[in-house]
Amino acid sequence: MSSVSERSSIPQKAEHGDGTSGAARIRMGIAEFIVTIALMTASVALAIDSMLPALQSIGQSFDVANANDAQLVIGIFLLGFGLSQIFFGSLSDAFGRRIVLLGGLAFFTLTSFTASQATSFEALLVMRFVQGIGAAAIRITTMAIVRDCFGGREMARVMSYVMIVFMIIPIVAPSLGQFVIIYASWHWIFILIGGIGAVLFTWALTRMKESLPSQERLPLSVGAVLAGFGTVLTNRITCGYMIGLTLFSAVICAYIVSVQQVFGEVYGLGEWLPIAFAGTAGGIAVANFANGFFVRSFGMRRISHAAMILFTLLASIGFVLSLAGTPAFVISYLLFSILLMFFAVIATNFTAISLEPMGHLAGTATAITGFVSTTGGTLLGAAVGQLFNGTLQPLFGGFALFGLLTILATLWAENGKLFTHPGDKDMAHEHGGHI
């Protein structure tokens, strides 16, 4: 993974030995490059969000005794995705991006088709776990390819365009799943995901060239990963904000695994669930754009620390309201929408802040923080989901607790001082709207 981080620090562009840089490094035009990377990355979101309308049908199909256990279809995928991230940086450094990406796409595709034929709930969960591993390979290698091809502001610009395309998927995926459920069984959602995976595999096989030449590859090294862990865990800023990222990964996981029951069972939205989910996902997209605009003026810490405190207060209000009974749908929906907008701002800025002290270890630190925050967040968020009892108390209570613990972790990271940090003004100016 160290080779990734070294290249990520090269200003403006990354070059082959023959001088090629940018999208030309993998023999693509810039538009094709952006769309390809966005669709590869979005396959992860598709595998999660398209399943939301199908959870109840899957539970009924396998006679799952506890309705909350249907959440595992989401949670076990995220667990496989989180646990395996740590390995793929080193694998792609040693063997190249393309072979690992193709292997991940193949895993993702085959397990999708196999899951559609599952004869037991346990078999389905095994396939979802392996599918998550394939998704992690796709995620890590596509980000590595971007770092190989671009550096500095050019990388930030390309990632901004990638995110614009990517954000469409969480908005439309539940509606896609709902459409399939209306006209066919849940099995066909997996067939659809597998078909999309097969198209992406074919596209990568025929259109994407290797971005990491053999002379730049590194031997597979466990020592590099262990050394990276030591560096991350001994840096107060990186470790503290990684804890915060873990807690807010738990926030989004708890929401995703619970949203079908909250909107579907508590409020009886039924077929309107995808529309409601699309609204909150759209709010996240708006928050990301707004953060990119305002961070230049106010800085990462001022924005994220304020959002963190407001998130905790708002979640606490939601919890108190839920203790008195189920709040009106409009109130709950407004609370969830605003809370998720705060989540987007916090997660985006915490990621950037956590990598500030890492310098040339940014690539290694990204893989490690992704591994810790996704795995830990999945376990914590799934635990909140399992507490669902027909009310909103577990979800709002979990949000408030995660927010409070994040405040404490941030205070520890910043030596008791919020909103300002030495060099924050410079970092805000450097990153501008690209954070």
Q: Are residues 163 and 260 in the same domain?
A: no
Of 189, 220, 251, the one marking the end of a domain is 220
Q: List, for residues 20-78, the tens digit of each pLDDT value.
A: 557 878 878 888 898 899 899 899 999 999 999 999 899 999 998 888 899 999 999 99
For position 217, what pLDDT does the model report? 78
The whole domain housing 420 covers 221-435
Alpha-carbon span 58 to 64, nearest angstrom: 8
Q: Are residues 3 and 66 in the same domain?
A: yes
What burial class does residue 349 get, using C-beta atoms within 10 Å of its C-beta: 0-12 exposed, 13-18 middle, 19+ buried? buried
pLDDT band at 370 (very low <50, low <70, confident <90, very high): confident
Q: Are residues 329 and 368 in the same domain?
A: yes
Residue 341 pLDDT greater than 70, yes or no: yes
For position 361, what pLDDT does the model report? 63
Contacts of 140 (CB under 8 A, 6+ apart): 85, 88, 89, 92, 100, 367, 370
Q: Are residues 171 and 145 in the same domain?
A: yes
For the chain, the helix, strand and coil percentages under 3-state DSSP, each to the nearest 5: 85, 0, 15
Domain count along the chain? 2
Q: Are residues 250 and 177 in the same domain?
A: no
For position 4, what pLDDT does the model report? 40
In this structure, how many other beta carbons lie within 10 angstroms of the beta carbon of residue 236?
12
Residue 297 pLDDT greater than 60, yes or no: yes
Between 6-10, 227-231, 379-383, 402-406, the lowest mean confidence (pLDDT) is in 6-10
Q: Are residues 213 and 231 in the same domain?
A: no
Sign of the dihedral defined by the CA atoms of residues 107, 109, 110, 111, in that order: positive
Q: List, for residues 147-162, the tens digit of each pLDDT value.
A: 788 765 576 677 767 7
Between 67-71, 106-110, 269-273, 383-387, the lowest mean confidence (pLDDT) is in 269-273
Q: Are residues 37 and 129 in the same domain?
A: yes
**Residues 229/368, Cβ–Cβ less than 8 Å:** yes
Q: Are residues 121 and 82 in the same domain?
A: yes
Residue 425 pLDDT greater than 60, yes or no: no
pLDDT band at 2 (very low <50, low <70, confident <90, very high): very low
Of 398, 286, 288, 275, residue with least CA distance to 329: 275
Rounded mean pLDDT of the chain? 85
For position 201, what pLDDT does the model report? 97
For position 352, what pLDDT does the model report? 78
Amino acid at 20: T
Q: Scan for tokens 């990222």, then name that residue.
A: 245
Q: Are residues 267 and 171 in the same domain?
A: no
The better pLDDT of the pair 12, 277 is held by 277
Of 189, 205, 220, the one marking the end of a domain is 220
CATH of the domain at 166: 1.20.1250.20
Residue 196 pLDDT greater than 80, yes or no: yes
Q: List, for residues 219-240, the tens digit of each pLDDT value.
A: 777 777 788 788 888 889 989 9
DSSP string for 53-87: GGHHHHHHHTT-SSGGGGGHHHHHHHHHHHHHHHH
* Three state DSSP letters for 246-306: HHHHHHHHHHHHHHHHHHHHHCCCHHHHHHHHHHHHHHHHHHHHHHHHHHHHHCHHHHHHH
Q: Are residues 154 and 92 in the same domain?
A: yes
Amino acid at 365: A
User: pTM for this structure?
Assistant: 0.80
